[in-house]
């Protein structure tokens, strides 16, 4: 079963401009706990210019009684480490999450092995700028070759050129504040 799912995922990522596909059997409880965001592909206007100075982000995922995801994150900001909390509301159809009032139109997991990594797709809209991202979530400070390979394949398959992809700087100062 696992190898069949992997084969389907690999087939999907090899198609240029593939549409984001949802892993329908994903149990959101498997996303709970601490994560490092180690790599990002983004269509945000300023991302290509700023990508070389972005540091690793720490994220702790919890599930509310309403089956919404609560995301606590810690990242480097203009004035040092900043933390934020966002609740992502479960949509009626499958395990897709959103919070339009916070600019998150869609949050879904594209691929995961449920213990080491997750490839996450997010569709965002801030002001007049709609864009999407693909992020590599990792349980460890260093991503496996499998995880990096899938991140790259999903990013390319969804049309992100290399200038819109980045491995984040290995500064864990802010991430570790919530992941200890």
pTM for the structure as a whole: 0.84
Residue 92, pLDDT score: 74
- Is 124 in a helix, a strand, or coil? strand
Residue 77, pLDDT score: 84
In this model, does residue 42 exceed pLDDT 90?
yes
In this model, does residue 3 exceed pLDDT 50?
no
Residues near 21 by Cβ (< 8 Å), separated by ≥ 6? 12, 110
pLDDT digits (tens, 9 = 90+) for 127-144: 888 999 999 999 999 999
72, 165 contact by CB (below 8 A) = no
Extract the tokens encoding 30. 């498997």
pLDDT digits (tens, 9 = 90+) for 87-127: 999 887 667 899 999 999 999 999 888 789 999 999 999 88
| Number of residues written out for the chain | 180
Structural domains of the chain, ranges and CATH numbers in brackets: 31-179 (2.40.128.20)
């Amino acid at each position: 079963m696992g190898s069949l799912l992997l084969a389907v995922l690999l087939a999907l990522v090899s198609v240029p401009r593939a549409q984001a596909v949802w892993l329908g059997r994903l149990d959101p409880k498997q996303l709970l706990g601490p994560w490092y965001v180690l790599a990002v592909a983004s269509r945000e206007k300023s991302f290509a210019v700023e990508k070389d100075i972005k540091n690793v982000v720490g994220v702790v995922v919890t599930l509310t009684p309403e089956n919404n995801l609560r995301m606590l994150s810690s990242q480097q900001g203009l004035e040092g480490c900043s933390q934020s909390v966002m609740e992502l509301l479960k949509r009626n159809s499958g395990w897709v999450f959103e919070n339009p009032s916070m600019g998150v139109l869609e949050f879904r997991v594209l691929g995961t092995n449920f213990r080491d990594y997750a490839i996450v797709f997010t569709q965002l809209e801030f002001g007049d700028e709609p864009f999407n991202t693909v992020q590599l979530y990792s349980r460890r400070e260093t991503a496996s070759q499998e995880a990096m390979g899938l991140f790259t394949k999903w990013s390319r398959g969804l049309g992100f050129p290399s200038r819109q992809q980045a491995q984040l700087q290995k500064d864990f100062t802010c991430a570790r504040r919530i992941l200890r």
